[in-house]
C-alpha cells in the first residue's frame, strides 16, 4: 500500500495470481467457483469515545476467505489506508500461505481504517475491544483466529482475548495468537516471521550457490518482520547495507551495525539519523546493487515503473504483496530470484499454529523446539515450491500458488459441496 505512481488494487493482484496458478493447475471451473472468492465478508462500524470526549466511528472489516482446511486464520491490521479490497486480498493470500506450509488452517484477515500513530493507548484499547465485540460472532479458536499484523501487537491480542473471554465467561487463550507469553503465547512467536524469512533466504542462497556470509542486503521496512530478518542475516555474517522505515532510509556500504540500529529504533521509533550511516531516498534503497533485497513494509513496493531498477539477485518478500504482477514480469526477465510472500513470510503463521496447538493442549514448548520445527516446515515448503518451479518451469510465485491452491482444491474436491 505504499503510495506509488503505479498503485495497484491488491485484490486484483490476488485474483490475477490465483488465475495464473489455477490455469497452470488446469483447475476445473467448478473448483475455481468454490475457492476463488471469500466465504464471508463482514464490515462493521466501530464507535469509540476519543480522549477529547467526542465519538469517532471507525470503519472495520473481517474477511474469512476459506475454512476448507481448518479454522480461518489471519492478522488484524490498523492503518489509515486499510480498505475492504486490501483485507480481501490479504485474507486470500492467508489461505494459500497456510496451505503452502501445510498447516490445517484456512485464511482470514481483519483491518481497521485508523491512524494508530496518533491514538492514545486508551483509544486503541477501546477501539480494539469494540471491534472485537463487533466481530465476536464469527471468531473463535475453532472458527477464526486473529493475530497481529501492521501496527497491532501482543498487547492488542491480549485485549482481543480478554474481550472474547469476558463475553464467553471463561479464559479462551486460543482465540488469538501472537499473545503475550503470560497469556498462553508461544516462545519464538515474536520473531517467527523474520526467522522464517531468514530460513527461506538461506535455502535460496544454497540453491543459487550464493554464500550468505558477506552477502549484501537491503531491507525496506524495519518493523517486526524486517528488523528480525536483518538481525538474523547480520548474525549469519551477511552485510546489511541499507534499511528504511516510514521516517527515512539509512545506508552504509560497509554494513550497518544492526543490533545498535534495532536498539535505536526501539528507543526513538525511527532509523533516520543513525550514526555511521548516510541518508538515502526510499526509491534509492530499492535500486541498490546488492545480493538480497527484503521488502518488509507494505504492498506495491515494487511495480512496473521501478522494478527494472532493482539491483538485487534475490527479492525476499517479507511483506505481503510487495511486488505487483507488472513488476514480477520485469524481475523474471532480469533473472531476479523472487521468494514469494506466501512462502517467504509464512513463518509467522506457522508459529501461530504452534501457539494454537500449545494452547489447545495446555502444554508449552521450549524455544528451541519452536525454532527446529519452524525450520523443518519452512525448508520443506521451500523445497516443494522450488521443485514445482523447476519441473514446471513457472515463476516461483506461480509455483507457490500452485502448491497452496492445489492443496485447497484437493480438500474442497474431497469434501464435496453442501447440501
Give the residue numbers marked as catalytic: 109
d(CA 251, CA 313): 19
Number of residues interacting with ligand NAD: please give it, by CB under 6 A: 25
Give least dist CB 248 to ligand NAD, A.
Answer: 8
Judged by CB under 6 A, which stretch of 113-121, 130-138, 155-163, 240-248 contacts ligand NAD?
Answer: 240-248
d(CA 291, CA 190): 26
Q: Which long-range contacts (CB under 8 A, 24 or more apart) does 355-363 make?
A: 355/177, 355/178, 355/179, 355/184, 355/185, 355/186, 355/189, 356/141, 356/145, 356/174, 356/177, 358/184, 358/186, 359/141, 359/173, 359/174, 359/184, 360/141, 360/174
Does 39 contact ligand NAD by CB under 6 A? no
Q: Which residue is nearest to ligand NAD (CB)?
A: 223
Give least dist CB 347 to ligand NAD, A.
Answer: 8
d(CA 115, CA 137): 26
Does 156 contact ligand NAD by CB under 6 A? no
Does 297 contact ligand NAD by CB under 6 A? yes
- Is the CB of residue 127 less than 8 Å from the CB of residue 119? yes
Does 244 contact ligand NAD by CB under 6 A? yes
Give least dist CB 408 to ligand NAD, A.
Answer: 19
Does 319 contact ligand NAD by CB under 6 A? yes
d(CA 32, CA 413): 11
Does 396 contact ligand NAD by CB under 6 A? no
**What is the DSSP code (8-state) at residue 336?**
P
Which position has the grid cell 474477511? 63
Give least dist CB 54 to ligand NAD, A.
Answer: 27
| Selected binder of ligand NAD within 149, 216, 291, 355 (CB under 6 A) | 149
Q: Which is nearer to ligand NAD, 237 or 269 (CB)?
A: 269
| β-sheet bridge partners, residue 216 | 239
Does 112 contact ligand NAD by CB under 6 A? no
Judged by CB under 6 A, which stretch of 17-25, 164-172, 239-247, 358-366 contacts ligand NAD?
Answer: 239-247
DSSP H helices in 288-366? 325-333, 341-344, 347-361
Does 111 contact ligand NAD by CB under 6 A? no
How far is CA 111 from each of CA 90, 355, 365, rounded to the nearest angstrom?
A: 10, 22, 31
d(CA 365, CA 355): 9
Judged by CB under 6 A, which stretch of 113-121, 250-258, 291-299, 358-366 contacts ligand NAD?
Answer: 291-299
Give least dist CB 79 to ligand NAD, A.
Answer: 9
| Selected binder of ligand NAD within 222, 274, 354, 356 (CB under 6 A) | 222
Instruction: Report which secondary-structure segment, H or E, holds 237.
Output: none
Q: For residue 398, what is its C-alpha cell?
A: 506461480
Q: Which is nearer to ligand NAD, 133 or 153 (CB)?
A: 153
Q: Which is nearer to ligand NAD, 220 or 252 (CB)?
A: 220
Q: For residue 146, what is its C-alpha cell?
A: 486473529
d(CA 190, CA 202): 20
Does 224 contact ligand NAD by CB under 6 A? yes
Does 318 contact ligand NAD by CB under 6 A? yes
**What is the DSSP code (8-state) at residue 302?**
B
Does 282 contact ligand NAD by CB under 6 A? yes
Does 116 contact ligand NAD by CB under 6 A? no
The interface with ligand NAD within residues 178-217 (CB under 6 A) comprises: 193
Does 324 contact ligand NAD by CB under 6 A? no
User: Which residues bind to ligand NAD, rule: CB under 6 A?
Assistant: 2, 148-151, 193, 220-226, 244-246, 282, 296-298, 318-320, 345, 348
Amino acid at each position: 500500500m505504499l503510495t506509488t505512481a503505479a498503485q495497484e488494487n491488491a485484490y486484483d493482484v490476488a485474483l490475477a495470481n490465483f488465475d495464473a496458478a489455477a490455469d497452470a493447475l488446469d483447475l476445473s471451473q467448478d473448483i475455481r467457483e468454490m475457492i476463488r472468492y471469500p466465504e464471508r465478508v463482514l464490515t462493521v462500524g466501530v464507535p469509540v469515545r476519543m480522549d477529547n470526549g467526542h465519538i469517532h466511528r471507525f470503519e472495520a472489516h473481517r474477511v474469512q476467505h476459506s475454512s476448507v482446511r481448518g479454522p480461518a486464520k489471519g492478522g488484524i491490521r490498523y492503518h489509515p489506508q486499510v480498505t475492504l479490497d486490501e483485507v480481501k486480498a490479504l485474507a486470500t493470500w492467508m489461505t494459500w500461505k497456510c496451505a503452502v506450509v501445510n498447516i490445517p488452517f484456512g485464511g482470514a484477515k481483519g483491518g481497521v481504517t485508523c491512524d494508530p500513530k496518533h491514538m492514545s493507548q486508551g483509544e486503541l484499547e477501546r477501539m480494539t475491544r469494540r471491534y472485537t465485540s463487533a466481530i465476536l460472532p464469527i471468531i473463535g479458536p475453532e472458527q477464526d483466529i486473529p493475530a497481529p499484523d501492521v501496527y497491532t501487537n501482543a498487547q492488542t491480542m491480549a485485549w482481543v482475548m480478554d474481550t472474547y473471554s469476558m463475553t464467553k465467561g471463561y479464559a479462551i487463550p486460543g482465540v488469538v495468537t501472537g499473545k503475550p507469553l503470560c497469556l498462553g503465547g508461544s516462545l519464538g512467536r515474536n520473531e517467527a516471521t523474520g526467522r522464517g524469512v531468514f530460513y527461506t533466504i538461506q535455502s535460496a542462497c544454497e540453491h543459487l550457490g550464493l554464500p550468505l556470509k558477506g552477502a549484501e542486503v537491503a531491507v525496506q521496512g524495519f518493523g517486526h518482520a524486517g528488523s528480525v530478518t536483518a538481525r538474523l542475516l547480520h548474525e549469519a555474517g551477511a552485510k546489511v547495507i541499507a534499511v528504511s522505515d516510514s521516517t527515512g532510509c539509512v545506508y552504509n556500504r560497509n554494513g550497518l551495525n544492526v543490533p545498535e540500529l534495532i536498539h535505536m529504533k526501539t528507543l526513538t521509533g525511527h532509523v533516520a539519523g543513525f550514526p555511521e550511516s548516510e541518508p538515502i531516498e526510499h526509491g534509492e534503497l530499492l535500486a541498490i546493487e546488492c545480493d538480497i533485497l527484503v521488502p518488509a513494509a507494505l504492498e506495491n513496493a515494487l511495480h512496473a515503473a521501478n522494478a527494472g531498477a532493482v539491483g538485487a539477485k534475490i527479492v525476499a518478500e517479507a511483506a505481503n504483496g510487495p511486488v505487483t504482477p507488472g513488476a514480477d514480469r520485469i524481475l523474471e526477465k532480469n533473472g531476479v530470484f523472487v521468494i514469494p510472500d506466501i512462502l517467504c513470510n509464512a513463518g509467522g503463521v506457522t508459529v501461530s499454529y504452534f501457539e494454537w496447538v500449545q494452547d489447545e493442549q495446555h502444554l508449552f514448548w521450549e524455544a528451541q523446539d519452536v525454532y527446529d520445527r519452524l525450520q523443518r516446515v519452512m525448508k520443506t515448503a521451500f523445497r516443494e515450491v522450488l521443485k514445482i518451479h523447476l519441473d514446471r518451469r513457472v515463476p516461483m510465485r506461480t509455483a507457490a500458488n500452485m502448491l497452496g491452491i492445489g492443496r485447497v482444491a484437493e480438500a474442497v474436491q474431497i469434501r464435496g459441496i453442501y447440501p
